[in-house]
Amino acid sequence: MTFSQPDEMSMSRTSRLDLPLLLASQADKHVSYNEAMLALDVRVQLTVLSRALSAPPDTPTEGDCYIPKALASGAWSGFDNQLIAFQGGSWQPVPAKAGWLGWLLDEAVNIRFDGSTWHAVPIVSSVNPIDQIGVNTTADATNRLAVKSEAVLLSHPNETIGNLCVKLNKSQPSATGSLSFQTGWSSRAELGLLGSDDFGLKVSPDGSSFKTALSIDRTSGGLKAHGGLIDPNTGLRALTLVPAVVKDIWRSDMESPATPRTYIVASVSGDAITIATNTVEQIFSQSLRGVSKVRIWNVSKSPARSAWVNWNSAANVFNVHQATDVAGWAAGEMLRLGDPNPSGTNSLGMIALDISDYLFNNFGVVFPQSGLKLSLSVQGVGGRAGLDCSGNGAVGTALGNSSNSDGSRQSAFADIFTNVLSPISNSNLLFVRESLIAPATALAASRLIRLVGIWV
């Protein structure tokens, strides 16, 4: 490979650094050579002492290089913002071209010439810390790290174990540390520690209103499906059976006739009702305290008025949930256990039970349960007695059990699905009926309904 020599007539200096060339017939070649060396001495490994002065220093040193600031004076006059060097005992301009780089000594920064102005070039010696990073996009004060890419890869380092951990740290339990999933910059789902230290997932149809779908208790690890489990085929919510603390939600151990039954008021005082016979056990037994409320009706009123029994004070005295419900009730009036027909959907005249006390005392919350898993037991005297349950008291909905033909005890399990909201709580009602099966002289001796599970 051979290189051609420049045309002596057309080219006497280099095109980029403007260095003088030696010509074939040139006399005093050392002059051109020395000029070139001095030019290289400035241009190569360019170091500028300062760009903060507008007048030359009094005692410059050979090779000193400056960029005079605006309104330069003295020997620098007319060289504002240009490169100038002290060589051969005088100040010499150094014509710069776009792209030249240098080191600005007093500011300790790199500088770059864009063709008209010298600019500082930040030195990236460390990214710890750095204010903002934008990859293929612009970061801002909120999104200090912004990445615009079809994919983001985070990989473990080349070590034996190969672990990788991404951490989201928040300041306090009430703060949020989360991942937000968006469509068109509008959030549709958020995953993480959402205002507590329990792990959660919430979703939104519009980016403004959110519903919690899942949460995991940080202590127990228990998973809560707030919207329920939805069957993918039907789109319907699947029921979940929650084991429950076993309690009697209906019990009567006094021989009694079938329901509906009637009683006569002896007196009324506040929320206490005294009846004419010692048969409160047939209405409300001690085992129901803090568990169930039983609806009873004053059918002497027109229309009939109801109250909810929640305590038994004596063999002939029971108490009601609200004294205002029995205001105006008087001695001699007739009470009925078993809803008058019709009462809503309860055309079977069954007894309405509210189990909100049970729910609150055992779960800490009252909610409209979808159904109850029950254990039923019934015993008769002199013949068969029956015990039925329903979720709404409608014809064809009652399920239950009966004693043997001689009255001996029989037990059974039943799942009763409830859908009638209680008028006094946020729980659904259970409807109960006690019946007698021939011979007509039979009495029910012992009847109990035990709750063993709740459908939610």
pLDDT per residue over 382-392, tens digit each? 888 899 999 99
Residues 20, 116, 54: CA angle, nearest 5 degrees? 90
For residues 414 and 399, the answer to whether their CB atoms sit within 8 Å is: yes
CA distance readout (Å), 64 to 19, 112, 226: 19, 18, 75
Q: Is the pLDDT score of 5 beyond 50?
A: no
Q: What tens digit of pLDDT does each residue of 203-212 get?
A: 999 999 999 9
Q: What tens digit of pLDDT does each residue of 18-35 get?
A: 666 666 666 666 555 666
Lowest mean pLDDT among 10-24, 221-235, 310-324, 437-451: 10-24
Q: Which two tokens stand for residue 145?
A: 């790290």
Contacts with 45 (C-beta within 8 Å, 6 or more apart), sequence order = none
Determine the 3-state secondary structure of 331 from DSSP. Answer: coil
pLDDT of 331 reads: 98
For residues 85 and 48, the answer to whether their CB atoms sit within 8 Å is: no
- In sequence order, the β-bridge partners of residue 353 are 294, 430
Q: What tens digit of pLDDT does each residue of 217-249 get?
A: 999 999 988 888 888 899 888 888 888 899 999
pLDDT of 1 reads: 41
Q: Which two tokens stand for residue 318?
A: 């029971």
Query: What are the start-end ranges of the H helices in 173-246?
Result: none
Count of Cβ atoms closer than 10 Å to residue 442 Cβ:
20
How far the first Cα of the chain sits from its last, in Å, is 89
Q: Which two tokens stand for residue 371?
A: 């159904």
340 vs 126, more confident: 340
Measured over the CA atoms of residue 382, residue 384, residue 389 and residue 395, the dihedral's sign is: negative
Lowest mean pLDDT among 22-36, 139-153, 259-273, 420-434: 22-36
